[in-house]
Each structure stands twice: as structure tokens, then as C-alpha cells.
Amino acid sequence: MFVLNSIFMKNKIQKFLGLASLAVLSNQAIAQNDVSSFIRAGKDEANKLVGAYLQPVTRGLASGVNDAWYSTAKPLGLLGFDIRMGVGGSFVRDDSKTFTLNGIGTSTDPNSQVLLTPVGGTGDTKQPTIAGDGSSTRFAVSVLNPSSIGPQRIYTDTIAAFEGKNSPISLGAMPFLQVSLGLFKNTEVMVRVLPIQSGDFASSGFGFGVKHSISQWIWGVEKLPIDISGLFTFTNNALELSFGDNYLKANGDPGSLSDSEYKNSQKLSINNKGYQVGLIVSKKLAFFTPYLGITQNSATTEIGMKGYYPVRSVRLNSTTNLPENYIENVKDPVNLSSTVSSLRTALGLRFKMGPIALGAEYNHAFSAEQFNTFNATFAINIQQLAPIPKL
């Protein structure tokens, strides 16, 4: 019976985390129809376009990777434990809602191999990011004519207008499962995992943290009706989304791979890594505990499009010596990263009734490069199991 209950609970947790992951990803990171079209501009330009369009996602994930590790400054007692699940988001800044071609450094040189030309706009026309509002202009893609002398160009493709989702919220703390254990001397250790497998989406990774009471070591402070603890956490996780039937297809030009080769290789990968160090202060009031955290945060998020992607280009036919279209199969065309480092304050509340604890938290970043974030947690919390031995 215990084994069956354990399996049932594991499936429930997996389902919750999977659904929560798909909920936060569906609005933004799964913008495959928009993002894949950028690959038509070639590897260099695609990196710039995808980086600009998905900036709210990369900054949001980097801003929230260190979130939701605690909901009180008081460490667990000896052999006390806390099992929690949580998820969060970030508030998109206005400067992450639009971009321009000139602003991201796309080529305007007529002698460049690949050139993007806005249709009905200019290089200074504002384009929406994934969190912005409205539609972009369309971009004509052209390459140099290999048979001409001078900058004569041949049109190869069109990047269709893409949509902003008009969302003030981006991704933050990805859904997680965290287990904490109380040790001697008011020390608590924490371990976090992301055990998610749901259709084409999967995640893996780990995190660990330590919380230790410092008020116990400061004369006079231990008598105050508050708890003060130091905190250190580290997180490293990876997320992967297969594009399935939304993969970027070739049009049958020479050089094309089979549809299955494109479909089975194309994936979106997201890697988050970060740490924080700081202080937490809290005060228990009946069944709820307000707390304040002050931490230094550092985090990096990397987003990549893995696999083979068909890019239409032009070459000279070896027989006719005339230009012909062909498919250049670009491998792993997009690799982006976003790094944030900032002092932050966290304001939160924990409501605890018996072993059930609910938490809500807001984080304010003192840096324009980092988003403000929020998160919510659900936990089963037993403060202490074993009596504290007298030393």
C-alpha cells in the first residue's frame, strides 16, 4: 500500500509540475512559428533576431532562477523537513518590449552576404519582442549574386510578420520540487530538482542551499522576537522542447534533408545557472510569517536552437554556371545568453496551518538589467522531529 501511495504521489507531482511548466511556456517560449522563421536570415542574423525577440524570456529566466528558496528566516529544527513545490514569473520592463534592426546590429551593408530589408519600414522601425504588442514588419532576405561583379543581390526568402504576445509577465522561477532538512545548530540544508516529462517537454537539473541562524551567535539579538539567518543557494537546470510538427521545413531545393531529419533534430533548449548569498529576517505572528530578504544574485540563462535547419541560399550551378537556389543546412543556428547580477530585496508572507504552508513573494532588483519577480509555493512543513540534544 505504501509503495502504491508513493507511486501515486510521484505521478501527481509530475503532473502538477508538467502542467505548470507548459502553462508558463505556452505563452512565450513555444513561439516556434515566429522564432523558426528568423533562421531564414542565416546564422549570424538569426542570432540577433532571436536574441532580441526572446529577450523577455532570457532576462526573465535569469531574473527568477534564484527565487522561492525560503519563506522564513527560521531554520528547520533537528530532523524537521519541508517538501515544497513552486512556480514564479517576472515583470517585463518596457525596454524589453520592442527592438529595432539598427539597435541590434543587423547588417545594412549592401556588400554583406545576407541582407535584411524591412518591407514597409526602416531599420529604425520598432519591432515587438515576444512580450510586446502588435505585429512586426516583414523582412525580405537577399544574398549576393555569385555570378555578378559588384553588389547585385538575389531575393531568396521572406520572414513573415511575427506577433508580440502583449504580456507584462514573462517566465521566472521554473516549476520545481524542493526538499529541506533541519540539522544541528539551527542549520537547514535544501535540495531542489525539476523532474518534469510531459509530451515534447522535459527538464532536468538540481540545486542546493544552506540556511543558518546567525542571530544565535550575536549577543542580545538572540533575545529579540525575530529570526535572522544567512543564506546561500546554487541552481543549475536544463529544459528542452522538441518542436514536433512545428519544425522548420525545406522546400525541396537541392541539398534538402528528409523531413524526418529536420523534425527529429530541431529542439529548443534552455539552461539556467545562478547563485545567491544574503540575509533573511522574519517574525512569526500566529499562523503567518512576514519576512524580508536581502541577497546578492548572479545568474545566466542560455537559449539555443539545436538541430538542422534549412536556409535557402544561392550558388552557381556547376553545369550551367548560372545562379541556382539550394538549401544550406545550418546546425545549431542560435546560441544566446543573458547574465544578470544585482542586489535584491524580497518581501514575502508564509501562511501555515498545521503541516500545510502557503507562500507568496515579491523580489525587487536594484539593477535595470534584471526584472522584478514574484513566486508562489505550496509546502508540507514539519518544523522539528527530534529533540535538540543539550551539548
Q: Domain extents for the chain?
A: 2-94+168-308+331-382
Query: Please, what is the end-to-end C-alpha distance for the chain in angstroms?
Result: 41
Per-residue pLDDT at 389 = 57
Residue type present at position 82 = D
* pTM for the whole structure: 0.85
2 grid coordinates:
505504501
Per-residue pLDDT at 2 = 32
Residue 153 near residue 144, CB atoms below 8 Å: yes
Which has the closest alpha carbon to 116: 33, 177, 40?
A: 40
CATH topology of domain 2-94+168-308+331-382: Porin (2.40.160)
Per-residue pLDDT at 120 = 86
Going from the first residue of the chain to its last (391 residues), give the mean pLDDT of each consecutive group of 10, the final group possibly shorter: 37 46 45 72 88 89 92 94 92 94 88 87 92 91 83 86 87 87 95 76 87 89 86 92 81 85 88 95 92 96 90 84 87 88 96 95 93 95 75 50
Distance CA(122)–CA(305), nearest Å, equals 28
| CA dist 94 → 25, 164, 365, 373, 383 (Å) | 21, 13, 15, 15, 42
Residue 216, φ and ψ in degrees, nearest 5: -65, -20
Residue 295 near residue 332, CB atoms below 8 Å: no
Which has the closest alpha carbon to 90: 69, 61, 132?
A: 61
Helices (H), the chain: 2-26, 32-38, 43-53, 55-64, 101-104, 259-265
Per-residue pLDDT at 31 = 52
Per-residue pLDDT at 165 = 86
